[in-house]
Structure formats: structure tokens, C-alpha cells
Structure 1
Amino acid sequence: MRKERVPGGSRCPECGGALDPVDPEAARRGQRRLAAIARAASSVADAASLSVTLDVVANEVVQAEHIAAVQILRVEGGTMRVVGKAGFTDADDFTDRLEDCRRLGARLMFVEAFRTCRPIVVPHRKAAVMADPTWAPLHRIMAAPEWDAFAAVPLVVRGRAVGVLNAFYKPGEPPSTAALEFLEAMADQAATAVDSADLLSKSRHDAQLAERARLARELHDSVVQQVFSMRMQAKALQAQVAPGRTIRAERVQAVADELLELAQTALADLRGLVLQLHPVELVERGLAGAVRSHAESVRGTSGLDVEVDVDLSADVGDLPVELQEDLYRVVQEALHNVVKHAGATRASVHISTNGPPDRVVVEVSDDGIGLTAQVRAGALGLVSMRERAERWGGSIEFGSMDPGGRGCLVRVCVPVAGPGPAR
């Protein structure tokens, strides 16, 4: 059947009856909802800190709907915490007060939404809350926004609830079916943000465990062996000066000299390990200073000639500390591989923001046996370095320094303001 557009909707040309009347306000609200979902998705993809991302999601809900306030709660291990909000006054003790209400016997409707993984709508909820003495610890906070109906939508990840989005509707604006569908879409965005934060945290934890295991091997291979040798030399020295024995000064001197050399080597190795565990220079001196300090440590303990060149057109100190640490760890791992496996005499580290626009580039090169041999030796730690670059939206490349295959180049390129764990 052919339709003709008329003001306010469509009219049938055969019978003159109205067809599918168009509500301009409903259409505008639908457009606002779609725009809010798109902006929320963009914020989640942008991978800022979880609280910043979920504050954006909460604000988008408030602006798109007739909603007085929104809370996004994370429920984990039996505890609750507010991870995003809009419309409520700041209250650092909100979750403590909420727990007080629960202990007094208050019925927390959002808990039911969380447990059942289904949305819950409660009309005229504010009046009931304000009249209930079990909600007294939160009366002051809950009284501030002008709201009436309440809706709770669970944040579900792979069939498991990880939190809940609470919406407090303005008087006279009960949530419609379309409004609930919008809340569910926004809850999905919030759930994605929570899931991404969890996966990132696990990835960083796994990387830390792997790094600790490597440091434990380093400790065993260097310092533990040196301390054992020192113990043997100390016993030899003890035997030289035992009662009844003729003390030979030259022998005692030789043992003492060897003991001193072992102690100095062990101390240098320990300092290197401490630097790897806690690069305080990164906080005090920034990325460039920390890399220079580490290069000096490598030079002192291994004899490898390490040259550091820094060419920055922007203040690298403005980069997030976590990004600087990831870049520092890439340099650290690359130089570790050079020392252990490359058979090199020289290495260079180049840090620059004067290459690709809005990028920081870190390059580590050496004159050793070459990329193929190092890969065959399993020495590059590719996974760890690649993950550090990619979590910031960057890339990592490996190549040889000359056509003959000798030497190795590790090149990391990361956006100055790219996605990552923190911004």
C-alpha cells in the first residue's frame, strides 16, 4: 500500500486514515539515545581509566534521558564500590552507608537485578526509601536529586554479572520499554569497560609474574652463585689463620682479594636487580634519565658499550608514568637480550618524538650475532615487549642492522596520546 507523508505522520490515500503517527519528541529522544550509545562506545574504546570511562557513560545516560542521577556499581568478591556516577553529590562513604542500610535490613533492589541478571523497575521508589528507617544512613544523599522511579540494570559479561547500573528517574517520567532498552545498551558498554579493565589488570599481573620469575633466575645465576663462592673463600681464609698453622701473608692476601672482587661483583649485580625491580629514576628523572641510568648500570656490570641518544620535541614527562615504565621495560628487556645472547660489543638506545607525528619512538640496536640467531636462542622476549607496545595502541618491529644479517634492531612506536591503561 502506498503511503503519503502528511504533517504528524502518514495517511492512507485510499481511506484517508492516519498511519504510524510520528512523535517528534520520541524521534528526538531516540536520536539522543543512539548518539549517547555511540559516544559511550567511543569512550570505552578509548580505554581511559575505568572511573573516567564509567563517569562518561553515566553522564551520557543522564543527558539522553529524563533521569536525575545514575550510579554504576562494581560488585566483586561480596563488596560493592561506586565506579561511575552522575547527578549525585560526592560522598566518599556512600558504599559504607549502603552497607549500614543493608545491615539494618534495607531491601537493596539492585542486588536482585545483580543476582538474577535481569533489569528491575520500581515505581515511586524514592517515597518508599525516604519513609523507611532502614535507609536512614542514606536519607541525606538520596534526598538531594529530584527523582521518583528507580531502575537497576545488571552489567553482564559472558553470562556473569559484574556490576549494576542504577537509574533514578525524574518525577512524572517512569521508564518506558524503549528507555529500558537504552539502559541495557549503556549497561553493556559499562560491562565492556569493566571487562577490559579486568583483562588488562590480569595481563599486567601475568607480566609481573613472568618478570619476577626472570629476576629470580637472574638472582640464582649471578648473586647466589657469587655468595656461595664468597662463602667458600671465607672458609679458605678461615683455614689459613687457624690456630697452629703458619700464616702465609701472600696466600691470605690472595684469598682476601678474590673475596673482595666477588663482593663487588655481587653488589653490582644486586644494584642492577634492584633497579629492575623498582626504577626510582623513572619517577625522579623521567624516561630519558632512567634509560641513561640503566645504560650506565649495564655498562658497569657487563662491559657492553651502550650509547643513549634522546631527541625530544615534546616533553616526554607529560606521558603517563605507566607508558614511560612500559617503554623503559622494553629497553631493559632488549638490553638484557643483547648482554645475554647477542655477543655484541656495542649497543645504542634512541628515543625520539621527531619521527612520525604524535608518536614516541624507542629503538635499541646492537652489533651482535643478529636477529635470526637470537630468535633461535629464544632470547627476545617477544611476547612481553609486544604486549607492552600494543596495550598503548603501538607497534613493535624487529630487524637486522645490515644485509648480512648481523646486528639486531628493536623498534617500538607508540602514540603520544594513544589508548592505554591510564591517560
Structure 2
Amino acid sequence: MPARRGTAQDRLPADGITADLHPDGRFRGGSAEVFRILGLAQESDVVRVPGSSRTAWGAVAGSGAQYRLRPHPDRPGWEITLFPAPAREGHRATLRRLQIDNLASVAQSKDLSTVVHNLTIDFFQASELVGPMIVLVDPSGSPTFAGSHEMGHDELAAMERCRRNGAPMLTLQAFEEDRVIVDPAWYDRVRVDDRFAPIRAFVGLTSGFSYLSIPLRTSSGPFGVVAGSWPAERPITPGRVRLWCDVADRLALALQYSELMRRARVQGADIERQRINDDLHATLAQDLFVLALHLAKLEAGDLENEHRATVLEVRRLTEQLVVDVRMFIGERRHVMEGVGMAEYVDDLAKDLGGRTGIAVDVRHAGDVDAFSSDFNEDVARIVQEAFRNVDKHALASRVSVHTRLDPESKMFVLEISDDGRTGKAGAAVSTGAGLSIVSEIAARRGGDVTIRQSGGTTVIVRIVPEYESEWAVAQRSLEPWTG
């Protein structure tokens, strides 16, 4: 029967106690106290040894003790050492300062890339790790985001090529094993293992540093890692590992807080939009409807010709304004959570076709669902304004919408064409307000708008794309390597 875990924690010496393991993790010899604290049966249980012959640090479940697993220095197999829980008093001030810095970074940053940029700077200052990088990983083990205060898209793409080459990626190992992984020979591995060739130009092949990766955890398990380098001449102690883990825990909380703030902003925006819609429906829409009724009565009465024309025009404009207000109230004003650009534009096209009978053809060239939510919001606004302009002014029977990425300029291109005839009798006169909004968005996004009128109207918007994460850009640069 295994001993209760943690019963001998207080008896551990400061320099720890050590036992030896076979290459498969079975007990070979040394202190039996190690296995009593771990709660293992020496005859049958094995210790999960780290992959790729690397060193692993972790905490003993149910105990404040820490363990270190590393390749045995003299023979095949492993050496496991248990250390007593290190005191945290020495770094409480560091953690408090980091927590304040993290909250400031999150509160002042809107997008994930900026949050990560700021948090890695805070992490570097608190942990002293060189070149820290955050990698978020999905439950299947695939990286979904990577960023730091200095790394760019090319480096991230090189990392992914290494992974696809089958290189033993330390960052993913820390995520999969849920413990701190240290590799003193990582830079040497990169130098001699061709699976790491894509990243050699970026790491500089610097000797004298250990590379390590620390899990970022929630209560349900790890969701990513933070990685960095440590000078080989500086020892890695239990207290140092405890500090890194505490700092990583603060980092994980800050990232979760950032996501909660983003969701709160989205929810708050939705509530405010609904309030505005309700107010418009309760006041302006109803008042305009009453005004239209009064104008209809005037039109039915005995009016002189000069006044009748004016009343007819005012009534027509009022009815159009009623349509505009109801259209505004009924529109989906926000790209919903989890909905990509293609799906949202398709929904807008269906709304226009269902409301007006106009045939709408939508085509998307390439992957247009990797953009940021703010970018999708702006594209949706452009499409809404263009559709409203078609509905009000063009008297069109067909509309086409094409989205694509220009392979040369890397610009996002949105082209909306119709076969209408602006200015036909009975059509409302365009004030140009809608196109003014489109031009404003394009200018803010570093682009431009081109309008062509020949057998209809074509609006071409070219803007700089903004991706949801730097990882999405890195994936795009991998295309030439994946066939």
C-alpha cells in the first residue's frame, strides 16, 4: 500500500534526496524515501521520465516538495531528486509588482498580440529569462498562437517547419507533460540535428545557455507554455524554478483576464447596440410612421399642384427614412463570436436577397477567416453600407461580392458590383454618406476605395489585412513548404 503523499516533506534536507531509475522509469536504487513521498510501490510503479532525454522539474501532488528528473550522469537511466518546498518570501514583492504590471498591460491593450508583447516584457523583468516567448496550444497539441516582445512571423513559421520535420520541440513537450522542461544542450541539438535547420538562422546557435519551457495552466490543465533561455553558468535551483512557475501562473491569469475583458467588451457593445435599437424603435421609427400617415392625409386632400409635389416628395423621403431606420434596427451590427468573415458576409447577402429579391452572388478566394474580429467588423460595416446603398439607390436586380487576398501586394480586396441604374425615376437620391463611411474605414486601414460606373456600379475596397494572431500569419508563410 503506497504511503500517503507528502508525509515526509518536512524531513527533506535542503539539498534533497536522490534515487536512481532504469531507462524506463523503474526504481533501481537509492533512497526509498523518494518513493514513499511520491506514493509509489517500488516493485511495480514507474516514474514518467521526460522525453528526448531532457531534464524535468515538477511538484509532488499533495506535497509542497519539488522533484527534478534528469539523465543519470554516469550510466543509462535517470536520477530523481526531491527537494523541500522552497520559501517564497524572497520573491513575494516581485510577484506583487508583476501582478500590477500584468493588469496594466491587459487593461491598456485591445488585441492579443499587444497583450502578449507587453506580458513577455513583464515576464522577462520578473524571471530574468532571456527572450521569453508565449505559445498557446489547443487540446490536440497544435500551436494556435505564438508571440513575444521581439519575435516575428518568419521565426514562428520556422518553428512550425521544425515541428513538421519531427524535431523534438521543447515547448510542446512541456505542454504535453505538464511540467517544466530544461534542455542544457538545446543549442547544440539545433546545430547538429537537421530537423531544426529552419530555425538555425534565428537562434544564433548561442552556446552557454539552457533552453527551458514552463506550462501556462488553468484549473483544468495547461493551455500553453512560456519559454526562454537561462545562462548555463547560473545554477537552476528549486527556488528559481518555484519563482518561474509562480510568475508563469500570474502570466496565465493575466491572459485569461485579457480574454474575459475582450468578451466583456463584446457583450457590453451588444447591450449598448440593443439599447440604441430599442430607443430608435420606440421613438424615431414610430414618430416617422405617424408623420407619414399625416402626409398621406394631406396628399388625399385638396392641395394645389405646387404644394402637392412638395408633399409627395416629403412623404417619399419620410417613407424611405422609415425603411432606413427599420433596416438599421434589424441589421446584425456585430460579428458574432466564433463566426468567420465568410459566413457573416454570406448571411448579409442572404438578408439583402430575402428583403429585396435581388440575386446576390458571393465568392471568397482563399482563406478569409483568419482575420481579427476588429477587421471582420470593419469589413462587415463596408458590406452593410454597400448593400444599403444598392437597396436605396441602385434599383439593381443582381449584386456580386468577391473577397480575396492579392498575392503581390498582400492587400485584402473586397469588390461589390451591381447592375443597377442610379438616378432612375423613383429612386432616392444618394447623399454619399454610406460611401463616405466606406472611404473612412479604408483610409484607417491603410487602403483606398475605387468606384467604377459602367452598366452598373462597382466598388473596390483595398485594405491592409489584420490577422487574429501572429500565428495565422506564420501559417500563411508555410504554404510554399507544405505543397
TM-score range, shorter chain: 0.3 to 0.5
TM-score normalized with structure 1 length? 0.45
Decide which structure has greater helix share: 1
TM-score normalized with structure 2 length? 0.40
